[in-house]
Structure 1
Amino acid sequence: MRSEVTHGRVLWHNADVINPRSLDLTRFLTDWYGPRDVPAATLPAAAAWLPAPLKAWFTLEMQWSIPLVISQKMIPCDAIEPRDGMAIFMTDSSGDWRWAFDVSTPNVVYESALHRAWEMASEELSDLLLHNAIGESVMNSRASRLCSHVPANLLPEILAPMDEVGFLEWRWPAPGCRTYMGDSLVAQVGPSISRTAPWGPIDQYFEVQVGTSKIDGVSYLDGLGIEWI
Structure 2
Amino acid sequence: MGTKFGNVHVKSDDLNEITSALREIASARVKEGTPKHDLTGFESIVQRARQLENVFYIGEWGNGWISILNDCFGWGKAESFGEVLSGMISSPVFTVSCFDDDVLEMNVYRNGEEVTGHVWCSGYVRADYGLDEKEADISVLSRLLGHEHTATLISILDTEDREKAVEEMESVMGVPLRIHSDWFGEMGDDPFIRNYVKYDFNQDSRG
TM-score band, normalised by the shorter chain? under 0.3
Higher strand residue share: 1
Greater RCO (Cα-Cα under 8 Å, separation 6 or more) = 2
Higher helix residue share: 2
Q: TM-score, normalised by structure 1?
A: 0.24
